[in-house]
Chains A and B, each alone.
Chain A
Amino acid sequence: MQEYEVGLWIFLLSAFLGFELIRRVSPLLHTPLMSLTNAISSIAVVGAILVTGNKDASTFTKTLGFIAVMASTINAVGGYMITDRTLKMFKRKDAPK
């Protein structure tokens, strides 16, 4: 099988898995869900690291990669922290104050 064919299979299965998982998320948590998926998509940092750290990367590439690593890190750090901060606020009635 070609590499891209494997990729398409993975994409298909993950997309369906995503649909099934998200459908079960309570509307109560849709806002933290969005900040969480946002943080998850900052996985782009992997691509950014590969581009920036490459041994024969040009200055142009390194500059773009540097900005990309920075932008993704802001998202990753900020995204996970804000999701946790938001979720901490959700309390049940009988929860200790």
Chain B
Amino acid sequence: MNDVLYPIFYLCAAGLYIMALKWMNSPTTARRGVFAGEIGMVLAVVGTMLRYEVIEYHWIILAMVIGAAIGAPLALMMPMTAVPQRTAIAQAFGALAAALIGTAEFFEHPPHGFVLVALTIEMLLGYLTFTASLIAFAKLQELMPGRPLVYKGQNFVNLLVFSTAIGLGSTFYFSPGFPWAFPAFAVTAMVFGALLIIPIGGADMPTVIALLNSYAGLSASAMGFALNNKLLIVAGALDGSSGFILAIIMCRAMNRSFTNVLFGGFGAIVSSGVGKAEQRPVRSASPEEVASILDTARSVIVVPGYGLAVAQAQHKLRELYDILTRRGIDVRFAIHPVAGRMPGHMNVLLAEADIPYDKMVEMDEINSEFAMCDVALVIGANDVVNPAAKNDPTSPIAGMPILEVDRARTVMIIKRGMAAGFAGIDNELYYMDKTLMLFGDAKSFTASIVKELGVTA
């Protein structure tokens, strides 16, 4: 009886997952999507519990209770600014689960043929994604330096470690029975995962996080093949393609290839050339001057970047938005796809500060509007507005699509000092006649503009 029931549960769960992703296409239906996902998960778990193979419940239920007791408070108390870290650590947990299940299965029912291949892929992806996500987490949480750590021959070492892992994995198939092959395989896979992320710098995190998301999904899918479970194959494939397509979008937004992101050590190489930039005059302005310019503007486009998140300036920015909107000034937010540390990071940050999402505009839509706007206010962004990407074919960021703030009537840039951005390239934008540099911390400077505007009201 139960064996008729659980495939139906699984089928419904897979359908609900597909609907969940479909409903994510619009903010108005997205929460329904989450609900569908939750129901799908419950059906999958209940269906599995009903299967005749599962006879011992107490350990499973205990593990679930502990898991829920850890997961729920984490989700409720986590500050929204920690979203990239949370995503990384969640991927580490997911990959660990996949790796351990693969390991258990490997020893419990020594597999052969296709199942063995699937299981090996699952474990390889699981173990490497586990450590890779942990390193990404450490970098985002600033437990480790966020800049890329590169050394000579790095790619060669990585390649060597990776081929060793593959080689050890293939011994399971070709000459099974080596007692040391399994632990060596698991360890090299984990070492490779860590080595892969060590050279990745902060600005490349959006791509890498998306790619790791894809790996975690693919390992779940491989598990589906190993356990002959169609639901796992479907859910894993959906997750795998989602992460992959996001990684492609991120790469395109930087005009770079996967190989370049993963093996380029971007930023570290270029930054060696910094320091020789000559001293050139820039125009700076005080909060009073900024307030009077903003007051006479009709349309303002704000360009947020990672610096906004670092300074936690989103709530002050919302006050500025409110005060300008109340005066009939049109304020919009231009979002570059790779602004921040993960896909969609800026949107979440602004939404947290209650900025309406219909005011957040994608790059392709807003670029034609800059020419018609009075003020472009750049907060904590640098490379994504650097005109060198368009004008200088020798620039390391040449060809990267940018937000064309240089076409606005007045450009204002809130910045701590004249230091170069992540890519380590000087920004022509700072030296233009229509540019005003607003030196200071993003949060306190925004606060003083708000104060000045309040006085003149």
Using a CB–CB cutoff of 8 Å, the interface residues on chain A facing chain B are 3-4, 6-7, 10-11, 14-19, 21-55, 57-58, 60-62, 64-93, 95, 97
Contacts and interface: CB of A to CB of B under 8 A. Distances in A.
B59 A80 contact: no
Contacts of A29: 24, 27, 30, 344, 347
B229 A18 contact: no
Given A7-B228, A38-B213, A86 B57 contact: no
A75 to B, nearest CB: 5
B220 A85 contact: no
Contacts of B72: 77-78, 81
Given A17-B18, A36-B34, A87-B27, A77 B94 contact: no
B345 interface: yes
Interface string B70-104: 11101110101001001100110110111011011
Contacts of B356: 91-93, 95
A43 B220 contact: yes
Interface stretch (B150-158, B358-366, B449-457): B358-366
B114 interface: yes
A45 B18 contact: no
Given A74-B67, A80-B34, A35 B55 contact: no
A78 B66 CA distance: 12
Given A18-B242, A70-B64, A87-B34, 19 more contacts: A17-B18, A26-B26, A28-B347, A33-B242, A34-B209, A35-B87, A41-B216, A46-B229, A52-B56, A53-B59, A66-B59, A73-B68, A81-B71, A81-B75, A83-B34, A87-B27, A89-B348, A92-B27, A93-B358
Contacts of B221: 11
B41 A80 contact: yes
Nearest to B25: A24
B223 A33 contact: no
Q: Which 5 A-B pairs have the closest CB atoms?
A: A73-B67, A30-B344, A18-B241, A53-B54, A77-B71
Q: Say what secondary structure dominates the interface of chain B.
A: helix
A10 B18 CA distance: 13
A27 B343 contact: yes
Interface stretch (B45-53, B257-265, B423-431): B45-53
A92 B17 CA distance: 26
Contacts of B78: 82
A95 B94 CA distance: 36
A22 B26 contact: no
A28 B220 CA distance: 27
A50 B48 contact: yes
A75 B93 contact: yes
Given A34-B87, A40-B37, A53 B233 contact: no
B210 interface: yes
A17 to B, nearest CB: 7
Contact of B54 (A22, A49, A97): A49
